[in-house]
Amino acid sequence: MKQNISLVDPEEEVVKAIRHLSDEDVKMALSVQATLRHSLSSSLRNRGFLEIPPVMVSPLTDPLNHPVSDPRISCYGGEMWLTKSMIFHKQIAVQKLGRIYIMSPNIRLETSDKAETGRHLYEFTQVDVEALEWTRDQSMDLAENLIIEAVRAVREENRKEMEAFGRDISDFRKGFRRISYLDASREYGDEFEKSLSADAKEPVWLVDIPLQAREFYDREREDTPGILMDMDLIWPEGFQEGLSGGEREYDYGRILERIGKKGQNPETFKWFLAAAKQGMKGSSGFGIGVERFTRYLCGLKHAGMATAFPKIPGRISL
Ligand code: AMP
Ligand code: MG
């Protein structure tokens, strides 16, 4: 679907936006999301993580591993990108700040065939976390704690909303099940994420994702070249991916090599390469999508119900 902004009727769109904001389910989902944001934030602060402000525009952003059209803005005679994720800024900032997180708004112009997946927005927020010299296991342990604490907070503070949504999510126990990407694809076939999620009653970790299926910045396993030290968290009941993360590559030479393996142009990442040239230590972290987390907790049909001004792929809206 191609939409020309001059053909979109603002009056119609504003009426739609007001109708959305008047929807009782949207109001309740926003209240659940407010609890979530607060809980994630205080769980991180309690563990010594420093919140840093989001970067919205930069000459450096996430290449992603799937096609999106790239929102650029012209800036002082040059070009900058709108942030698709703060992965590189996290990696650079964590060198000096140790443990950080960002309530990070991302713009990803997802293709319009993703309008009805229920999971995709072209403007969303992730809680983006990174810790210096941490391993993947440490990140997974932290993520589990954050999720368990957030679910507990929602159960306590949003009893009324959860009841209205007919959701009874019990407290999760630490040590979520882990399955490797290769085992999952062997067991469930090509659409493994969907089936894995549909079968699950609790969140599941998908680990060890092959190099070609992810971006160049996640670290390759030393014992199994071609497999990355990364992970996705899959929400149960068919809600699918809710978090991605991993250990990061930090060595200048290996970063160049990985950019090459992906067939990407090092020129695109010259700001990151310049940082790596200064010398970087390893780090690990993840990003949790807050609209998807809210969607899962409330059992919503679409993540757009978990935000005030939803941006559905392919549609121009307020
Ligand atoms: P990524 O590292 O690209 O997997 O992004 C981190 C997290 O952000 C994902 O696990 C999702 O929870 C969330 N996310 C990514 N893309 C979108 C999108 N288009 N709409 C809503 N949430 C998203
Ligand atoms: Mg992901």
| Ligand 1 touching residue 292 (CB < 6 A) | yes
pLDDT at 145 over 70: yes
- Name the average pLDDT for the chain: 96
Average pLDDT, stretch 103-120?
97
Cβ proximity of 184 and 209 under 8 Å: no
Instruction: Assign 3-state DSSP to the chain and report helix, strand, coil percentages, each to 5.
Output: 40, 20, 35
Q: How far apart are CA 105 and CA 283, in angstroms?
A: 22
| Ligand 1 touching residue 110 (CB < 6 A) | yes
53-72 core/surface letters (b: 16 or more CB in 10 A; e: else): eebeeeebbbbbeeebeebe
Residues 6+ apart with CB under 8 A from 297: 32, 36, 151, 154, 162, 167, 169
Given pLDDT bands bounded at 50, 70 and 90, which one contains residue 2? low
Structure confidence by residue, pLDDT tens digits, 50-59: 999 999 999 9
Q: Output the pLDDT for position 1.
A: 53
Length of the chain: 318
Determine the distance separating the centroid of ligand 1 and the alpha carbon of 149, expressed in angstroms.
Answer: 21
Q: How far apart are CA 215 and CA 244, in angstroms?
A: 11
Q: How far apart are CA 209 and CA 228, in angstroms?
A: 5
Q: Output the pLDDT for position 66.
A: 87
Q: Which of 304, 284, 308 is nearest to 295 (CA)?
A: 304
3-state secondary structure (DSSP) of residue 21: helix
pLDDT at 7 over 90: no
Q: Output the pLDDT for position 71.
A: 83
pLDDT at 234 over 60: yes
Dihedral of the CA atoms 117, 307, 196, 162 (nearest 10)? -130
Average pLDDT, stretch 173-194?
96
Average pLDDT, stretch 242-247?
98
| Ligand 1 touching residue 287 (CB < 6 A) | yes
From atom 10 of ligand 1, which residue's Cα is the shortest distance away? 243
Q: Which of 166, 239, 254, 246 is nearest to 213 (CA)?
A: 246
Beta 50-51 vs 99-107: how paired, if at all?
parallel
Q: Output the pLDDT for position 5.
A: 76
Ligand number nearest CA of 291 is: 1
DSSP 220: B
pLDDT at 226 over 80: yes
The CA-CA-CA angle for residues 197, 245, 249, to 5°, reads 145
| Ligand 1 touching residue 126 (CB < 6 A) | yes
Q: How far apart are CA 222 and CA 3, in angstroms?
A: 47
Given pLDDT bands bounded at 50, 70 and 90, which one contains residue 111? very high
Given pLDDT bands bounded at 50, 70 and 90, which one contains residue 68? confident
Q: How far apart are CA 84 and CA 192, in angstroms?
A: 25
Q: Output the pLDDT for position 186.
A: 96
In order of 81, 131, 155, 185, 195, the CA distances from 191 in angstroms are 32, 32, 32, 8, 7
Percent of the chain with pLDDT strictly greater than 90: 94
3-state secondary structure (DSSP) of residue 263: coil
